[in-house]
Amino acid sequence: MALLGAGGAGSALGVGLAAAGIAVTAVWSRRFERAQALAAQLPGAEALADPQAAAERGALVVLAVPDSAIAPLCAQLRWRAGQAVIHLAGAYGRELLAAAARAGAETGAFHPLQTFAGPADPRAWHGVGIAIDADPPLADELVWLARQLGAEPFPLDPAQRPLYHAAAAIAANGFVALVGTAAELLGRAAGLERARAVRHLLPLLRGVLHNLEQLGLPQALTGPVARADRATLERHVAALAQAAPEWQTLYRELCRAMLPLARERAAADPERLAAL
Ligand SMILES: NC(=O)c1ccc[n+]([C@@H]2O[C@H](COP(=O)([O-])OP(=O)(O)OC[C@H]3O[C@@H](n4cnc5c(N)ncnc54)[C@H](OP(=O)(O)O)[C@@H]3O)[C@@H](O)[C@H]2O)c1
C-alpha cells in the first residue's frame, strides 16, 4: 500500500495497518518532514518527496488528503490498470477519483466513522464502522482491510454519502460544539475558566456514553424533557433569555429533538409530555 497524505486520518490508517501487519511501502505528504515522521513509525515504509513515485509503489494507493484536494491530486497522477486507489472522505463517492478510473484503475471510498486528532493509535480503529463504496474485487479487499483493522465495514449507496456524513458530523463535531456551549454557560454560571469547566463536564459525558453503550436509545435520555418536567424547563428558558439569549434557539431545538425519544421511553406521563 502507498499512503499519500500523513495528516490525522492518513497517520491513523498507517499506524493501524502497521499494527495489523499490513505493509505500507511508501508515504508522501505535501511537507516531506511529515511523510518522514509517519514513515518512521511504519516498518519498511519509505518517505518519498514525489507523489507519483509514492503512488507507483502501491498496488493499493490511499489518497488521505483533505476532501477538496482529492480530485486535483488524483488528476495530477498517472494511473494504470491493475492499480487501485481509494479516498477516506465521507461526503463524497468515487467521482473524486474519475481520473484514475479513466486510466483503468479500480476506485473506492473507505470512510471510517471515527475522529482522528493527536497521536495516532491503532486502537482507534477497533469497532469503528467503515462505509465502503467500491465494485468487486476491490470491495472485497476493502472489507478484508477494514476487518484487519478491527473495524466493521458496511456498504453505503454513494447517493446517500452526504446524508450519512451529515449524521457523522452531528455526532462528532456537533458534540464538540455542544460541549463548548455547555462549558461557556458553566463558566458564566460558576465563574469557571473553560478548561476547568470542560474537566467538570467530562464525568457527565462519560456517564452519557456509558448509558448509550449499556442501555441504548431511548433509555439513555434522562433529564427534564424525559421527566416531562415543565417547571424546570421554564427555569432553563428564563435563565437563558436573561444570561445567554444567543443559545435559546439551540436549547429549544435540542429539547424538540429529545421529545420523540422521551415519548418512546415513556418514563413520564404521556399527557404532560404532549403538553411540552
Ligand atoms: N481526521 C479525521 O478525523 C477524519 C476522519 C474520517 C475521514 N477523514 C478524511 O480523511 C481525509 C484526510 O483528512 P485529515 O483530517 O487527515 O486531513 P489533514 O490532517 O489536514 O491532513 C491532510 C494531509 O494532506 C496534505 N494536504 C493538505 N492540503 C493538501 C493539498 N491541497 N494538496 C495535497 N495535499 C494536501 C497534508 O500535507 P502537509 O500536512 O504535509 O501539508 C497532509 O498530509 C479527508 O478526506 C477526510 O474527510 C478524516
pLDDT value of residue 17: 97
What spatial distance separates the first Cα and last Cα of the chain, rounded to whole Å? 56
DSSP codes, the chain: -EEE--SHHHHHHHHHHHHTTPPP-EEE-SSHHHHHHHHTTSTT-EE-S-HHHHHHT-SEEEE-S-HHHHHHHHHHS---TT-EEEE--SS--GGGGHHHHHTT-EEEEEEESS---SS--GGGGTT-EEEEEE-TTHHHHHHHHHHHTT-EEEE--GGGHHHHHHHHHIIIIIHHHHHHHHHHHHHHHH---HHHHHHHHHHHHHHHHHHHHHT-TTTT--STTTTT-HHHHHHHHHHHHHH-GGGHHHHHHHHHHHHHHHHHHT-S-HHHHHH-
Q: Above pLDDT 90, what percent of the chain? A: 98
List pLDDT tens digits, range 25-35. Answer: 999 999 999 99
Domains and CATH numbers, the chain: 2-156 (3.40.50.720), 163-275 (1.10.1040)
Spatial strand order in the sheet of 26-28? 46-47, 26-28, 2-4, 60-63, 84-87, 106-112, 129-134, 152-155
Chain-centroid distance, C-alpha 62: 17
Q: 110: CA distance to ligand 1 center in Å?
A: 14
pLDDT range class, residue 118, cuts 50, 70, 90? confident
Mutate to test the pocket of ligand 1, among 27, 88, 97 (most ligand atoms within 8 A of CB): 88
Q: Which long-range contacts (CB under 8 A, 24 or more apart) does 168-176 make?
A: 168/90, 168/113, 172/115
Burial class (CB in 10 A: 0-12, 13-18, 19+), 186: middle
Residue 268: pLDDT over 90: no
User: What's the pLDDT score for residue 155?
Assistant: 95
| pLDDT tens-digit series, residues 129-184 | 999 999 999 999 999 999 999 999 999 999 999 999 999 999 999 999 999 999 99
Q: Is 31 in the pocket of ligand 1 (CB under 6 A)?
A: yes
C-alpha cell read off for 241: 433569555
180-215 residue pLDDT tens: 999 999 999 999 999 999 999 999 999 999 999 999
Spatial distance between the Cα atoms of 128 and 111, rounded to a whole number of angstroms: 10
Say if ligand 1 is within 6 A of residue 129 CB: no
66 alpha carbon – ligand 1 mean position (Å): 4
- Residue of the nearest CA to atom 41 in ligand 1? 30
Q: Is the pLDDT of residue 18 over 90?
A: yes
> What is the phi/psi pair of residue 34, to 5°?
-70, -40
